[in-house]
Amino acid sequence: MEQLALSVKELNKYFHEPQTFHVLKDISFEIKKGEFLALTGKSGSGKSTLLYILSTMDTAYEGTLTINGSKLTGKAQNELAAFRNEHIGFVFQFHYLLPEFSALDNVMLPALKLGKKPVEEIREKALENLKLLGIENQAMKPANKLSGGQQQLVAIARALINEPTIIMGDEPTGNLDSKNTRIVFDIFRELAKERGQTIIAVTHDDDFASNCDRILELMDGKLIHQ
């Protein structure tokens, strides 16, 4: 049996303000290690809410979430924060870089926070990641001096620094032109194929989704296609 990166069983999520609303309804699925998966659906279908739960940042749900064989449902916030930093990399539509820090410093931050490797080793790994993404020549430039495409590539390099099992993207190409979208897609494909990293990307881009290994489609909080 192929190893599972992530498993969700009978997931339900409710919002209670201004009145109770059933957002996610009886969702169950599994994702294998090294799989590149698109999470799709119209606005309001529950995609981002689901991703937020998968990322362990939202714990107010019913059902079970297991990542890397660890059942995460019911764990304390500090345990989840430590797990996230080590096992999950994030790429958002907005890069959330520290503007005055260099590209290199931004990439190094999660590994410095994890504190498992010497600073020089982290620096070398960060430079490797920037090289993988073709922007090593921008390493010392402040993030606010980079183009939008370059900033998103730096954000991906940052997401990779702790060699996470899973990379989660919330509209990771939403602000990019077609050329940079293709670059990001190809990088994700290579990470899944060559490094066995699992990619879960929320996207509205049909071309992006159709080229992934699998599509999970949500409608009105239900999984209608996988």
How do residues 7-38 score in pLDDT, each as one tens digit? Answer: 999 999 999 888 898 999 999 999 999 999 99
Rounded to whole angstroms, how far apart are CA atoms 29 and 104? 37
Residue 215 φ/ψ, nearest 5 degrees: -120, 130
pLDDT at 96 over 70: yes
**What is the pLDDT confidence band of residue 226, given thresholds at 50, 70 and 90?**
low
The predicted model gives 136-149 an average pLDDT of 90
Residue-level pLDDT at 1: 40
Architecture per CATH, 34-60+74-225: 3-Layer(aba) Sandwich (3.40)
Long-range CB contacts for residues 57-64, cutoff 8 Å, separation at least 24: 57/84, 58/13, 60/13, 61/11, 61/12, 61/13, 61/24, 62/10, 62/11, 62/12, 62/13, 63/8, 63/9, 63/10, 63/11, 63/12, 63/27, 63/28, 64/7, 64/8, 64/9, 64/10, 64/11
Q: Decide if 76 contacts 83 (C-beta within 8 A).
A: no
Which stretch of DSSP H or E encloses residue 22?
strand 21-32
Count of residues for the chain?
226
Distance, C-alpha 180 to centroid of its chain: 18
Distance CA 120, CA 108 (A): 10
pLDDT at 95 over 80: no
Mean pLDDT of the 133-141 span: 90
Domain ranges, ordered by start, for the chain:
34-60+74-225
The pair of three-digit structure tokens given for residue 140, joined into one six-digit string: 């010392």
Name the band, by pLDDT with cuts 50, 70 and 90, for residue 2: low
Mean pLDDT of the chain: 90
Nearest Cα to Cα of residue 222 among 45, 20, 53: 45
Q: Average pLDDT in the 184-202 region?
A: 90
